Amino acid sequence: MNSFQRKIVVTWLGIICMLIFSMVIVGGVTRLTHSGLSIVEWKPLMGIIPPTNEEAWNKTFDLYKQYPEYKITNRHMELSDFKFIFYWEYFHRLLGRLIGVVYLIPFLFFYFSKYFNNKLAFKLFAGFLLGGLQGLVGWFMVKSGLANDPSVSHYRLALHLSIAFGIAAYLFWNILDILSENKKSNAIHKRFKQSLLLTAGICLQIIYGAFTAGKKAGFGYNTFPKMDDAWIPEAVFSIQPSWLNFLETNAAIQFTHRMIAWSLIIGIPVFLWKIRNELNKLQKFSMNLLFAALCIQFTLGVVTILFIGSYEVVLPAIHQSGAFILFSTAIFFNHRLYKNQN
């Protein structure tokens, strides 16, 4: 791959990553506006066109009325209200389709134009397949809210969000590989495995963020640093067996989300400070980005806890965006240690 081809491919993959970032934001807003169950059918191709006249809108609305969200929660809803939630979910799905088109067509062009070798082609086609899997998982998530309880499974929500983050990380890692392919790499930095453990902690926090969102656990205790007047509320251990609380009860899920945040805001800076003199210039740059993103995300988390009642869409959406940025900086830092280039 020559210099020009490298720039074109990196730009293309960068656009895909930005679209995935947009998808995460739109998906968060779709959930926060309670729009995710408004489209009760999965039509990957025919679903591109929304209702175009009043008859089609009424038919779509009547279909929605057959499901628990309308029967239990939204019986007051008029057609104009339905259109609002419909368009959020429609835009979310449309953006997913757009990503597929923007991914596949340039990929085929680059492949047949010999922009990249078979090894890179295989890696990038795997990324496309992961995107298709994400669409299936999205529908798998939506189906969980079309049964008896008009809310999606927080486990499926966490899976859906995790795959989105994973695809973005996978493509970002490939971008960094392409940018560094002509540079000499030393042996993998001795701190690489430790940095992976810290990134695993960030991944766990993202999963618990999805649990918190899916269970609406963020509305339970809106004080900081304590949860109301206690460090560990009694409700954290409200059901038996005790371990199940940390997967099912709102108090324990929010408590765990907070405790992981404290662990990260203490553990990551200590680790970075300890190894700072072992890093080269590029690695220190990535380290500083990671530290800055961590501090911003922790602050956003505190602000979200305190003011979510007044800004229940805006703040969680910003906080979720911050998680994406934090995760991306962790991937960048890990890559710098893995390649270990000057």
Residue 208 confidence (pLDDT) above 90: yes
Q: What is the pLDDT of residue 43?
A: 83
Q: What is the pLDDT of residue 46?
A: 66
Q: Which two tokens stand for residue 297?
A: 């995300």
Separation of CA 103 from chain center: 19
Q: What is the pLDDT of residue 1?
A: 78
Q: Which two tokens stand for residue 47?
A: 């679903």
Greater confidence (113 vs 149) lies with: 113
Q: Which two tokens stand for residue 122?
A: 């295989």
- Gap between the Cα atoms of 267 and 261, Å rounded: 10
Mean pLDDT across the stretch 179-200?
Answer: 89
Non-local (6+) Cβ contacts of 106 within 8 A are 12
Average pLDDT over all residues of the chain: 93
Residue 186 — pLDDT band, cuts 50, 70, 90?
confident
Residue 187 confidence (pLDDT) above 90: no
Least confident piece of the model among 45-59, 88-102, 265-279: 45-59
Tokens 């998982």 -> residue = 137
- Gap between the Cα atoms of 342 and 183, Å rounded: 9
pLDDT in tens, 29-55: 999 999 999 999 888 776 788 998 999
Mean pLDDT across the stretch 307-335?
Answer: 95
Residue 170 — pLDDT band, cuts 50, 70, 90?
very high
Give the residues across from 230 on adjacent strands.
227
- Beta carbons of 102 and 16 less than 8 angstroms apart: yes
Q: Which two tokens stand for residue 70?
A: 């309308």
- Beta carbons of 88 and 38 less than 8 angstroms apart: yes
pLDDT in tens, 270-314: 999 999 999 999 999 999 999 999 999 999 999 999 999 889 999
Q: Which two tokens stand for residue 334?
A: 């890990």
Q: What is the pLDDT of residue 3?
A: 84
Mean pLDDT across the stretch 193-207?
Answer: 96
Residue 182 confidence (pLDDT) above 80: no
- Beta carbons of 324 and 168 less than 8 angstroms apart: yes
What percent of the chain is predicted at pLDDT more than 90?
85
Domain boundaries, the chain: 1-182, 185-342
What is the reported pTM?
0.94
Give the residues across from 227 on adjacent strands.
230
Look at the chain and count its residues.
342
Residue 323 confidence (pLDDT) above 90: yes
Q: What is the pLDDT of residue 59?
A: 93
Residue 205 — pLDDT band, cuts 50, 70, 90?
very high
Q: What is the pLDDT of residue 2?
A: 82
Q: With 0-12 CB in 10 A as exposed, 13-18 as middle and 19+ as buried, what is 267?
A: middle
Q: What is the pLDDT of residue 181?
A: 83
Non-local (6+) Cβ contacts of 50 within 8 A are 86, 87, 90
Residue 319 confidence (pLDDT) above 70: yes
pLDDT in tens, 223-234: 999 999 999 999
Mean pLDDT across the stretch 206-212?
Answer: 96
Residue 267 confidence (pLDDT) above 80: yes
Q: Quick check: bond before 225 cis, omega within 30?
A: yes
- Gap between the Cα atoms of 271 and 101, Å rounded: 41
Q: What is the pLDDT of residue 150?
A: 85
Residue 8 carries which side chain, given as an amino acid letter?
I
pLDDT in tens, 252-263: 999 999 999 999
Separation of CA 266 from chain center: 23
Q: Which two tokens stand for residue 54?
A: 């009043």
Q: What is the pLDDT of residue 194?
A: 94
Q: Which SS3 state, helix, strand or coil, does residue 170 take?
A: helix
